[in-house]
Amino acid sequence: MKTKLATAALAVLATAGAASAEKTKFEYWYGLTGDLGNVVLETCNRFNASQDQYEAVCVGQDGYDKAVQNTIAAFRAGKHPTLLQSFDAGTADLMLSGQFYPVHQMMKDFNIEIDWANYFPGIANYYSSSKGDFVSMPFNSSTPVYYYNKEQFEKAGITEAPLTWEGMEAAFKALKASGQACSLAYAPSTWVDLEQFSMAHNVPVASKNNGYDGLDSELVFNTTKHVEHMENIQRWINEGYALVRTPVSGKSARDSFVEGECSVFFSSIADHNTVGKLKPTFAWDVQMIPVYEGTERHNTVVGGASLWVLAGKSDDEYKAAAAYLAFLATPESEEFWSTNTGYIPVTKAGFNALVEKGFYNNAPYKGREVALKSLTYTEPGPLTRGIRLGSFIQIRAEWQAEVEAALAGQKTMKEALDTAVARGNDHLKRFAQTYKGKSFP
Amino acid sequence: MRRAYFKTSWIAALLLAPQLLIIFVFFYWPSAQAVYWAFTLEQPWGGGNTWVGFDNFRNILSDPYYWSSVRVSLIYAVAATALAMGMSLILAMFVDRQLAGYKAYRVALIWPYAIAAPAVGLAFRFIFNPNAGIFSYVNTVIPGLWDPTQIGWQAVVTIILAGAWKHVAYSFIFFLAALQSIPRSLTEAAAMDGARPLRRMVDLQLPLLTPTVFFLFVINITDSFTDSFGIVDTLTGGGPFRATDLMVYKIYSDGFRGFDYSGAAAQSIILMVLVMALTFVQFRYVERRVHYT
């Protein structure tokens, strides 16, 4: 009896040992939360089930900010994950830190074929080095659109969702005349109002091609079309066409739209899935963000996050992480991801596969192709590649606080933007001083 | 007088060691690190730093928004402390006088202290919400009167109320204990001399409470500076337009959210010096008026 038990125990130990020796584990920290976080976890489960060599240990970090904060703390203690989902605004810090393993290099080192040319240029440029090599892996990608209430639009006699801001203002007036009190649920957002607006209008946010050409760039958005646009938004609020709707005030712009309070709101295409799930009682659709008349429309750029491979891990872990990234880059994974979230496919092949399947022809996915249209509207030029500025989180915060102050009537919009630029430039100077002698890869 | 002491000092050292170690690891070490970072520019992902002398301090002190942060922190500390202590003193007196239902109050009033600051923030966020909360009734009477998300001073009022509410419990326990330790014979003698409750409070109880008042004052002020983070974070997020950007919250948002570790370290040093200076002033000048029995 005793020997039997002992053999059984040994056998268990042996199989357990074999199993853990077989699978190479690596850690992956992500920032997405709620529904979207669950889908990330699902990709890990799919990966783990698809093969028996590697195991992805995926840990949610409760938000983009916290994912990066926690990883920095862990990194300094040498206990960081192999893979990190880092948001767009953290790109510059990570790039200059040099504490990462460029994915382009990693895939080459492990002989994994990835067709880099297959990625949409609006996405590729954001996450590539100046030589065009990918430093991080595009993952959850989006671009802004506006959501509109089709029924309220029809009632107001608007047949086409406007593509210009002039058309938008006319729509606001028509909506008001038709008895719709609030046209636009407005939430100040640097990403939509400043960054993507500037891309679509081909105007700079900062000098030196938005920071791509050097750390000594300076913000210039207080001298561009952006000022006029923000003044218009303020005017629409004052004239009663728009209402400020932010989560802090108890109702987000999205909630306001879904309830039918306001007819239009601007957000990422990733919200397409969420708005659908909230089941508005009316027909709705999305449209590309408008541009002002007399401007030639340009492409918008990617937002969201990418996957970074961090320095200081073992070859085995890198190998496992590379396998996971390769898994994510397959068209099947892209389809899974785009179906279950509102994010767009990042490769042309992934997109074409979806188009061929008729994915975009019917609800609830119909309309999401608008994001790709916006993203690929033109080939990215020097001003529409993206933004590569240090301390960008701080710059966004300065813009936000100043614009809020202007909207509350504490100062004029021009004064607010001037202050935001001056303060933002101080942040940029500090950043350049912190990384003295370094340059973007 | 006989005094107990250890014959061999190494036992004393051994017994002290765990405490000293904890203080060293959790206070002196991080503080020293913060001082070092405050004089350098630290790269968030590690990989080196540059010595910049007093540049970080110069930047902070020349920033008008930093000074408004200091100002609102002071307003918050003084107002929340005064409110919390005033309320808890009144409540403690009621309970001490054993007014109807005092037993229920005694228990219920201690609860808020057990609630985490973020939970307090969330609860008050609902109460003060201009569209959906209890205060939205104000807006149904006079539209647009109450909106802490747009009107700075109202946001300050909300964090003061939330902060004070959380601190009432702590002060209440101490006040009640102090009141109950005043000999009954004193109050009864005063009552026999014809002093009514209010007079007894002003002339008898309050003077006897001064050590407690002083203790609570120091603790509350210090706490208001350092422990207000959770409430600000959930209730206002520092806004609208920095109106509630308390010093401790600014340290968090600059350092952790904005990756400006050095600037945040310098702000921490300033905050530490400020709290130390305030405590020093309190002990040096206010304590003179305290009578210990």
Is B256 in Cβ contact with A248 (below 8 Å)?
A: no
Q: How many CB atoms lie within 10 A of CB A16?
A: 10
Element containing residue A287 per DSSP (H, E) = strand A284-288
Residue of A82, A10, A247 lying closest to B149 (CA atoms): A247
Is A72 in Cβ contact with B45 (below 8 Å)?
A: yes
For B43, which of A391, A402, A434 is closest by C-beta distance? A434
Would you state the structure tokens that stand for residue B222, as one six-digit string?
């210090």
Report residue A349's pLDDT band, with 50, 70 and 90 as the boundaries. confident
Which pLDDT score, from 0 to 100, does residue B96 have?
82
Cβ–Cβ under 8 Å, residues A257 and A265 = yes
Residue of A310, A275, A287, A301 lying closest to A101 (CA atoms): A310
For B240, which of A69, A72, A408 is closest by C-beta distance? A408
Residue B193 DSSP symbol:
T
Least confident of A35-39, A222-226, A435-439: A435-439
Q: List domains and CATH numbers for chain B.
A: 65-289 (1.10.3720.10)
Query: Does the pLDDT of residue A308 top 90, yes or no?
Result: yes
- Scanning B39-133, the segments in alpha helix (DSSP H) are 55-61, 64-96, 102-108, 117-128
Which pLDDT score, from 0 to 100, does residue B2 have?
63
Q: What are phi and psi of A184, to 5 degrees?
A: -125, 125
Average pLDDT over residues B194-198: 85
Report residue A418's pLDDT band, with 50, 70 and 90 as the boundaries. very high
Helix axis angle for B206-226 and B64-96, nearest 10°, is 140
Element containing residue A242 per DSSP (H, E) = strand A242-244
Which pLDDT score, from 0 to 100, does residue B47 have?
75
Distances (CA, A) of A96 to A172, A441, B16: 45, 8, 45
Kindly list the residues of chain A whose beta carbon comes within 8 Å of any beta carbon in chain B: 65, 69, 72, 75-76, 93-94, 96-99, 244, 246, 248-251, 391, 393-394, 397, 401-402, 404-405, 408, 410, 426-427, 430, 433-436
Rounded distance, CA B110 to CA A74, Å? 38
Would you state the structure tokens that stand for residue B217, as one six-digit string?
């004052």
Which pLDDT score, from 0 to 100, does residue A98 have?
86
Residue entry with tokens 């993203």: A375
Nearest chain A residue (CA) to B37: A434
Which pLDDT score, from 0 to 100, does residue A18 have?
45
Would you say the CATH fold of A144-300+390-434 matches that of A2-142+302-361? Answer: yes
CATH number 3.40.50.300 is the correct assignment for the domain at A2-142+302-361: no
Rounded distance, CA B25 to CA A77, Å? 15
Is A246 in Cβ contact with B149 (below 8 Å)?
A: yes
Average pLDDT over residues B156-173: 89
CATH node for A144-300+390-434: 3.40.190.10
Q: What percent of chain A has pLDDT over 70?
A: 95
Which pLDDT score, from 0 to 100, does residue B121 have?
82
Which pLDDT score, from 0 to 100, does residue B1 have?
53
ipTM of this predicted structure: 0.79
Q: How many CB atoms lie within 10 A of CB A161?
A: 20
Cβ–Cβ under 8 Å, residues A305 and A142 = no
Rounded distance, CA A423 to CA A429, Å? 10
With a CB cutoff of 8 Å and minimum separation 6, the contacts of A267 are A144, A145, A146, A147, A192, A253, A254
Cβ–Cβ under 8 Å, residues B139 and B58 = no
Nearest chain A residue (CA) to B236: A248
Which pLDDT score, from 0 to 100, does residue A19 have?
46
Rounded distance, CA A422 to CA A103, Å? 36
Residue of B51, B246, B253 lying closest to B162 (CA atoms): B246
Is A397 in Cβ contact with B259 (below 8 Å)?
A: no
Instruction: Give the start-to-end residue ranges of the domains of chain A.
Output: 2-142+302-361, 144-300+390-434
**Mutation site, A308, A430, A433, A438, interface B, largest B CB count within 10 A:** A430
Which pLDDT score, from 0 to 100, does residue B6 have?
66
Average pLDDT over residues A248-276: 89
Would you state the structure tokens that stand for residue A111, as one six-digit string?
């002989």
- Concatenated DSSP letters for A178-216? TT-SEEEEE---IIIIIIIHHHHHT--SBHHHHTTT-TT
Rounded distance, CA A124 to CA A422, Å? 31
Rounded distance, CA A134 to CA A340, Å? 26
